[in-house]
Every structure is written in C-alpha cells, then in structure tokens.
Amino acid sequence: MKNTAHLNHLHRARERRLRTILLTIAISTILAAFTFGEEVDVVAYALYTEAEGESFYGKQAVASVIQNAARQKRRSYVEEVWTASRYQGVAKMRPERVAPQWFVNAEMNHVKKLTARAQCYYLAEMMLNGDFHPVGPWNMFHSGEKPWWLKLCTKTRTIGGHTFGYLENL
C-alpha cells in the first residue's frame, strides 16, 4: 500500500512537470510569433537542426556562433543563417526560406524534442531582443570529421558533439 501511494505521488509529480513544460512551450511560441514573426522561427529552426541533441550549453554555443559570425560580417541573424554554408539544417528550408510548419506548430510527439524546440525558441528570442550574451568567441563549428579549416582556428573548444573555433578572417 505504501509503495502504491509513493508511485502515485511520483506519477502526479511527473505529470505536473510535463504540463509545465508544455505550457512553457506554448507561451514562448505564441509570444515569439507576435514579437518577431518568421524571423524567430528561422533562427530557432537553425539552432534546432544544428543542436537538437545537445545540452542547453551546447545550444548556447551554436547560438554564439550565429551571433558572432553575423556581427563580424555585419549582417542580420537570418541573413547569416541563410547565406553561410555551415548551417546544413536550414539548407532543407530553401527555396521557401521559412521554417517547416511541423516545427513552428510544435507537431512533435516526444518531450525531449519539444523541450529542445522550446530552448531554441528561447535562445532565438534572446538573440533578437539583444539580450543574448555569447558563451564563447567562436564563429565556426562542426560535428563529425574534422574539416580543413579547423587547423586555422584559434580558441577551439569541444562541447558535446561539436567543435567550436574562431577564424580571424571569416
């Protein structure tokens, strides 16, 4: 009897956490849509496709690359995401240049994916508001095999499945 009550308590606590996560996701999506329109969708989707499985710090590092590279090249975040070849995930969005509806509408059936999406929207909103502070100076990143340009980078660091670096003349 005691174990059943304890399990019921744990189940209710888990349901409350899940409801809180889903409510946070819904609120952040609605606020982002009213504030930034498609711009936040594009930046959030770029973060999602590049760092979905990473920790929040890993997502911040990818956001840092987008912000640092955009500032270095004097372009908007959306221009950076569209024109730089390093963001392979957004290449699927061409030629329409909009985030897919399944992403915008949160049509995902897994809590981890919904949480990753919410984190990416949060970071995108912070970037567009000017409230995001990069966690590193990097303007390049990669995952998988080491690319040729990595030896030219300074200030390299590996976070999760990505290696980040700084190229002086990007």
The CA distance from 141 to 157, in Å, is 9
The CA distance from 164 to 64, in Å, is 10
Quick one: average pLDDT of 2-6? Answer: 68
| Chain segment 38-78, per-residue pLDDT in tens | 889 989 999 998 998 999 999 999 999 999 999 999 999 98
Residue at 143 is within a domain? no
| Chain segment 102-125, per-residue pLDDT in tens | 777 778 777 778 889 999 999 999
Task: Give me 74's structure tokens.
Answer: 């004097």
Residue 156 burial (CB count, 10 A): 15
Residue at 108 is within a domain? yes
pTM over 0.85: no
The CA distance from 11 to 160, in Å, is 31
Task: Give me 62's structure tokens.
Answer: 């990818």
Residue at 153 is within a domain? no
Residue at 148 is within a domain? no
pLDDT confidence bin for 128, thresholds 50/70/90: very high
Residue at 155 is within a domain? no
The total domain count for the chain is 1
Q: Are 21 and 117 in contact (CB under 8 A)?
A: no
Range(s) of the domain holding residue 87: 2-133
pLDDT of residue 38: 84
The CA distance from 29 to 146, in Å, is 35
Amino acid at 154: T
Residue 90 half-sphere exposure toward CB, CA atoms < 13 A: 25
